[in-house]
Each structure stands twice: as C-alpha cells, then as structure tokens.
Chain A
C-alpha cells in the first residue's frame, strides 16, 4: 500500500510550479528588462540548439557582455549573413522588443515555410537584441532615467555629464554634421571615432566578416521612417536607387499590415543630417543594403509606446524587414538556381543531340 507522505506535498507542488513556470510562454508583447532578455536568449539556445547559438562579441563600458543570437542551419560552409541590431539608443524600448519578435518569427516559421527554410539554410541571421546594454538598464532604473539615450561611459574629465551617442560614434564622416561637441548633449559623438566599446564591438565583429553580410538593419524609434545612407547631405550611396526601390517596397509591405505610413529617404532629406551612424559605417564597409528603421509612433507617445502597440508595430516592421531580407537573399541565391538550371539544360541538350537514352 502506498503511504502518502504529507511532507512531500510542498516539494511536489514546488516542482510542479517550477515546471509550469519554465513552460510559460515568453510574452513578446510586453517590455522586458535586460535580465529577462538575457534569460530568454539562453532559453532559445536550449530550445533550438540546432539553429541558435549565442555569440558574445564585446563588452560595454560597464563591462557587460554584448551578445547576439546567431540563427541559421549549420551547413558546414561559410555563409552569407544578415545583421540586425536593436537598442543602440536606450530609451527606444520598442526596438529591442522588435528584435525579440523577429527572432521568434524566424524560429516559428522556418520549419513550415519553404522560403524561410531556404533563407535559414543559405544565410545566417545575426541579431543583437540590445546593443547599448548599460543605457538600456539605466533607462529602466527609474522614472527620471527613462528618457536616457546615450551609453554610460564618462564624459571628458572637465565635463559634468556622461554618455556618448553611439549612433554618432562610428567612423563614418565622424563629427561633421548632426552632432554637438557639448559633452552634455544627446548627440555628443564621443572623444574620437569608435571611442566607445559598444561601437568598437560591432566594428570588430563585422569588420572581418563584412564580405559575408548582405544586409545591415539597425532598429530605432520613433518617427515611422526607413532611412537609407548617407547621413551627410553631400554624399550619395552608390546604390541609392536600389536602396530607395527596396525601401519603398518595404514601406508598402509595412503599410499593408496595419495601414501605417513609413516615409523612405536619406536622413538629410526626410529627417536631419547626421554623421557617425552605424548604418553609414556599414554602407562604407561595402554592405549593400543598409537601413535604419524608425518604428512607431509619430510623436503621440513617442519613446513611451504603450505595450498594446508592441504587437502591431512588430508585425508591420517584420513585414518590412522581411521584404529587404528576401530581396537580398534572392539577389544572391536565385542566381545560383539559374546557373544550375542552365548547366542541367546544357547536359540534356547534349544528351538529346547524341541520342543518349535518358528516360
């Protein structure tokens, strides 16, 4: 006969709760603090070990690891790649939310959607959910820090303020336009190009791999814009026409989801001139399709976008990003399809001519 031990009940209940809690779905439609995002990343690797790995590629000023999720099927070969980063600016909370959603979408669809399966086979996706980790954590600290933008490195010794605008710190026409050398300013570009560890981490990681990257998407808010390089009004990207065409296609894809208008153009045209942005740096490295996404809204809530808008914002942005990524993929890979088809055709023609029996 089974003796039921009452003192085992609490242990049993706790185990049950532990199991249940670990199986609770991650809520992609709430904002998550950094600790939860880190746990989420680790859980993803456990749940999808065949396609997801975490790569730590640098340290923030406060010595925290900057990590990305590498998503792709392991083919044993060197692969083409897509880059996405979120949260360069601390207060733009919707951006990290989107990176998380984006990853979830890929993982949810690649097994059933043939196109996504092909893309995950042919390419690796490198997604950094939060780049400016110190700033993001700081923006969670209290009501008074919520609207922080920069990183948390100290200013010059004679400065009473700290923080550098990471999106003005990259080595791309650094310090020329759209910056203020007042170290208290929100657009302070740092003491010199790439002075900031967060910017250097991106540059170091991408620099050696730049030829693999087809696409560089950097996610921000707010404004509902798709910005193409360059931020300096005197420079035009060599593939400006292509960038605009694909950008307009992405904006149309976005509009189809929830009717939101995203304006497409260079920063100096539609927003303001700027320099030292990650997008410009990526384009200068030769990555052909580089875009800055400025997500919802247009100023009503601004940086403090309500959580009930996370889902629709992510859905439309995903559609836009996917348009660009698909274009990049098809440009590179359907060419390969054509080549193999031509080879096959030649073989068959030769076989036909020689009268060889194929069937």
Chain B
C-alpha cells in the first residue's frame, strides 16, 4: 500500500519537473545566434593595423551600422563584379570595426553569395563614409576576386549576341510584377537593371541609408551604332531607413567585355498620386 503511494509520488515528481522546460539556456551572448550557420567567426585578433589610423572599436556585426556598411559593399561589388548572370548579395557580416578618421571608416569581414550559382565567398572590405558639408559618395575597397571564378562568359556572350542581332529592341516593365513574377527570359534584364542601379545606390549611400531595388519599372533597349547594348531604365529604389521609394532614370550600356557603364542618371521628382485614387471598391 505504502509502495503504491511512493510510486505515485515519484510519478508526480517526474510530471511536475521543471515548468519551464522549453527554455534553453543561451550560452551565446544576446547579440549572436546559437546555431552553426550564424555564429560569427571569431574576430581576427591579429588584425592588420593600418598606418595613421587608430581603431576605435569593434562593431556588433548584427547591428545597423555594420549592416548598412555591408550593404554599401554589396552595391560596390555588383558594380565591380556583377553581370546579368552574376548578382552579389551580402550574406553575413563576420566582423566590423569602426575607425575614426575625417569621416567614418569601416573594416568588414563578410561572406557574400552569388545569387544565381548560390556559391558563397568570404571577402574583406574597407569602406569610408566621408563627412563634411558636401555629400560625398562612400569609398569602398574590397577584395573579392573569388567571385570572378564563377564563370558566366558563355551566358553573357549568348545574351549579348541575341540582343545585338535582334531586329526588335527588347522592352520590359514591372520586374518583378506585383506578385513577384519575372518572365524567365526577362531575368537577365532585371539583373542588368539592378546592376545599373547599384551605381546609383553606391553613390547615394551614407550611414543613414539602406538601399535595395524595389522594382525595375521599365527597361528598354535603345538602338546603337557601336558594339554596346544600350538601355534606358526606370528603377525604383527602396531606402529602408526612410521607407521611401525613390525613382531614378538611367541610361547605360553593357557588353561582356565592358560590363555596365552608366552614361546618365537622373533622380525623378518625388511623385505622389495627385490624381484621385482609382475606385477601390
């Protein structure tokens, strides 16, 4: 009889146990994530100390200063290495340092992903946001040669030949459309639009912006006499910090050997629907 009572009591002990069984102690600091892919690599303690420059501090790679700086590096990398078949995105900032200077200098270790082939590379970058009365573009130095080993020459040449030869000039709108769709044969033009926009995003970036291309509203091929393909492009940039959609018009050329060259860029006035909204019933 007593044994039965003891057994019941023992069972009850097992049942009540810890009421908070779902809480796992987090060994990692609050700012890092406790799983393999997201633990930042240990900051390189033997980091190169540049001449004339004193490190002011390590930045949290998850916090916005490092994230915004990394985004600028992404735009730079696309202007430098991007192609209609090679689009680069920053995947992760491993470490960031803020260096005081006549502006703000960042040293970043990041992993970047080439979005079409899905390969990831580690890169180092240095980024300088100048300060002063005039708005200057950030200056970026990044070493990411490994991205070039993703070979896209054949596809680029094929695209170039097709649209050089074509009698009609390609024109596409709303890439992507409202539902996120892009016709497969229009994808390279969406990528071209993003690449060309990267020049603008790079120029326009500062510590208080975070740019992405919201949509390539229109990309239209223009006739040329030379061996470049030429495009007129209307792009919508989204700045995360202000949440604004900023319209830009671009004129640019592209060919496999030359890459993207922006001839003209023009910010369009801040448009608001002045007309009555359509009947939404």
Contact = CB atoms under 8 A, between A and B. Distances in A.
Interface stretch (B98-106, B135-143, B237-245, B256-264): B237-245
A18 B19 CA distance: 51
B274 A160 contact: yes
Contact of A302 (B33, B35, B38, B238): B238
Interface in B176-191: 176-181
A306 B179 contact: yes
Contacts of B22: 249, 323, 326-327, 330
A312 to B, nearest CB: 13
B215 A263 contact: no
Contacts of B180: 301, 304-307, 309
Nearest to B91: A261
Interface in A296-335: 298-307, 309, 323, 326-327, 330-331, 334-335
Contacts of A185: 242, 244
A16 interface: no
Contact of A341 (B12, B23, B212, B243): B12
Nearest to A269: B63
Interface in A135-194: 137-147, 149, 152, 160-161, 165, 180, 184-187
A244 B30 contact: yes
B277 A344 contact: no
Interface string B21-57: 1111010101101110110000000000000000000
A303 B37 contact: no
B92 interface: yes
Given A143-B178, A304-B215, A352-B5, A186 B20 contact: no
A352 B7 CA distance: 12
A255 B35 contact: yes
A346 to B, nearest CB: 10
B37 A259 contact: yes
B63 A252 contact: no
B9 A349 contact: yes
B41 to A, nearest CB: 15
Interface in B75-109: 89, 92
A8 interface: no
Chain B: number of interface residues, binned into ranges: 35 or more
A348 interface: yes
A138 B176 contact: no
A293 to B, nearest CB: 16
A187 B242 contact: yes
Interface in A21-50: 31
B134 interface: no
A160 B272 contact: yes
Contact of A184 (B212, B214, B270): B270
B16 A255 contact: no
Given A147-B236, A223-B240, A348-B9, A302 B212 contact: yes
A266 to B, nearest CB: 10
A245 B26 contact: yes
Contact of B89 (A31, A300, A335): A300
A348 to B, nearest CB: 6
A134 B280 contact: yes
A24 to B, nearest CB: 20
Given A185-B244, A301-B176, A264 B272 contact: no
B273 interface: yes
Interface in B262-276: 270, 272-274
Nearest to B89: A300
Nearest to B277: A138
A330 B20 contact: yes
Interface centre among B16, B37, B92 (most CB of A within 10 A): B16
B249 interface: no
Contacts of A263: 33, 62
Contacts of A149: 243
A265 interface: yes
A55 interface: no
A338 B4 CA distance: 21
A303 B181 contact: no
B154 interface: no
A115 to B, nearest CB: 10
Contacts of A301: 176, 180
Interface in B1-23: 1-2, 4-5, 8-9, 12, 15-16, 19-23
Interface in A95-132: none
Nearest to A330: B22
A265 B31 CA distance: 7
B26 A300 contact: no
Given A141-B277, A299-B212, A303-B214, A252 B16 contact: no
Nearest to A134: B280
A105 to B, nearest CB: 19
Interface of A: 31, 62, 134, 137-147, 149, 152, 160-161, 165, 180, 184-187, 223, 241, 244-245, 248-249, 251-252, 255-256, 259, 261, 263-265, 268-272, 298-307, 309, 323, 326-327, 330-331, 334-335, 337-338, 341-342, 344-345, 348-349, 351-352, 357-359
A-B CB proximity, top 10 nearest: A299-B212, A306-B180, A186-B243, A334-B19, A304-B180, A352-B5, A244-B30, A341-B16, A137-B280, A161-B272
Given A245-B26, A326-B22, 11 more contacts: A138-B277, A165-B243, A255-B33, A256-B35, A261-B37, A265-B62, A300-B89, A331-B20, A337-B15, A348-B5, A359-B1
7 contacts: A185-B244, A264-B33, A270-B63, A300-B212, A304-B179, A334-B21, A341-B16
